[in-house]
Amino acid sequence: MSDNPKIDEISGTETTGHEWDGIEELNTPMPRWWLWIFYATIIWGIGYAILMPSIPLLKSHTKGFLGHSDRANVIEAMETMNTERYENLGQLATASFDEIKADPELFRYAMAAGKSAFGDNCATCHGSGAQGFKGYPNLNDDIWIWGGRFEDIRHTLTVGIRAGHEATRFSIMMAYGRDGIFSTQQIDEVTEYVLSIANREHDADLAKAGAVTFANQCASCHGDQGYGDRNTGAPNLTDIEWIYGGERADIYQSIYYGRKGVMPNWNQRLSPEMITALSVYVHSLGGGEEASKE
Ligand code: HEC
Ligand code: HEC
C-alpha cells in the first residue's frame, strides 16, 4: 500500500496501488458486520476450547472445564434403559404365571423377550419356528414328552434333559439290540407291535408276539397302552408325533440303539427371569396346557 492512498474515481474506493496495464486494484474493506462475526467466532472458539473437550493430546485430549463427555452420556442413557428394562425383568422373577397373564404389558414384555431369546438360544436345535427336527421335538403342538404346563416347561428349561444339572430330567431308552438284551427277532416283533399301536401298517403275527415283549419290557416306561409317561419322559408311541421318526426303520433303530436326546440345562446360561420369559413364549406357541391339567 502506498503512503498516499489513491482514490478510484469511478467507485470512490481507495486502491491498493497495484496496477496492470491501467487496471487498478481496489482496496475494498471487509464489511463491519462480517468483521464482528469473525471476531465473535474467534472468541467462541477460544471459549469452547476452554470449556469443552477439544485439543487432541498424544494419548487423550483436553477435557474442558465443563467435563462434558458424549461417551459418559451414552453410558448413562444405557444404564437408565437397563434399569427400566430390569424393572420389567425383575417383575418376571417374582410374578406367577397367572399374574403375568393378567398383566397385558408384562405378558407382552415376556413374549418379546422370550421370542428373541428363543432365536438366540433355541432355534439351532428346535428350528426358528420351534417346529423341531428329527431328534429335536416340535414345541408348537400339544404333544409333550415332559409336560406342557407352564411350570413343567420352566422346570425342563432350568434343569435340562439328560444334561449337566444334578436334578436334570433323566431316563433312558436302552439299546436293546446293541447291548444284546433282545435278539433281532424280538426287535422285529416289538417293532411291528409299536407300528400296530401307532395305527400304522404292520405284520399282525409279528405284532402279536411283540405285544408280550412290550408288556414285559416296555410298558413300565411307555405305559400298558403305549401312551407314554411324563414322569419318565417316555414318549407316547401311539400318536402321530415322533421324536426320532415313525417309519419302521426309525422305530427299529430307536429300539436297537436306544435314544438319549440331550437338552442343555439353561440355569447357568440364562437368568431365571429370562427362563420365565422363554417359558411364557414356548407355552404360548399352541400347546401350552393349563395348570390344572394332570
Ligand atoms: C442342543 C440342542 C437343543 C437346544 C439348544 C435346545 N433344546 Fe430343547 N430339547 C432338545 C432335545 C434333544 C429335547 C428332547 C429331549 C428328550 O428327548 O427328552 C428338547 C426338549 C425340549 C423341551 C421339552 C419338550 C417336551 O415335549 O416336553 C422344551 C420345552 C424345550 N426343549 C425348549 C427349549 C428352549 C426354550 C430352548 C432354548 C432356551 C431349547 N429347548 C434349546 C434339544 C435342544
Ligand atoms: C426305562 C424306560 C424305558 C423303557 C423300559 C423303554 N423305553 Fe422306549 N423310550 C424311553 C425314553 C425316555 C424315550 C425317549 C428318549 C429320548 O427322548 O431321547 C424312549 C423312546 C422310544 C422310542 C422313540 C419314540 C419317538 O418318538 O421317536 C421308541 C420307538 C421306543 N422308546 C420304544 C420302546 C420299546 C419298544 C421298548 C421296549 C422294548 C421301550 N421303548 C422301552 C424310555 C423307555
Ligand nearest to the CA of 132: 1
Domains 75-161+264-284 and 184-257 share a fold: yes
Partners of residue 259 on adjacent β-strands = 173
pLDDT digits (tens, 9 = 90+) for 96-154: 899 999 988 889 989 999 999 999 999 999 999 999 999 999 999 989 999 999 999 99
CA of 173 relative to ligand 1 center, distance in Å: 17
Grid cell for residue 28:
475494498
As a whole number of Å, the end-to-end CA separation of the chain is 105
Closest ligand 2 atom to Cα of 190: 35
CA of 21 relative to ligand 2 center, distance in Å: 109
Could you tell me the pLDDT band of residue 95, with boundaries at 50, 70 and 90? confident
Closest ligand 2 atom to Cα of 176: 38
Closest ligand 2 atom to Cα of 182: 38
pTM for the whole thing? 0.76
Q: 126: closest CA among 243, 207, 48, 234?
A: 243
Ligand nearest to the CA of 143: 1
Task: Say how many C-beta atoms besides its own lie within 10 A of residue 178's C-beta.
Answer: 11
CA gap 139, 144 in Å, rounded: 8
Grid cell for residue 139:
414345541
CA gap 280, 288 in Å, rounded: 9
Ligand nearest to the CA of 193: 2
- The verdict on the CB of residue 233 being under 6 Å from ligand 2 is yes
Which CATH number applies to 184-257? Answer: 1.10.760.10
pLDDT digits (tens, 9 = 90+) for 51-93: 998 888 888 888 888 888 888 888 888 887 767 666 777 788 7
The number of angstroms, rounded, from the C-alpha of 277 to the middle of its chain's C-alpha atoms is: 11
CA gap 205, 195 in Å, rounded: 12
Query: Domain spans of the chain?
Result: 75-161+264-284, 184-257
Residues making up the chain, counted from first to last? 294
The yes/no answer on whether domain 75-161+264-284 falls in CATH 1.10.760.10 is yes
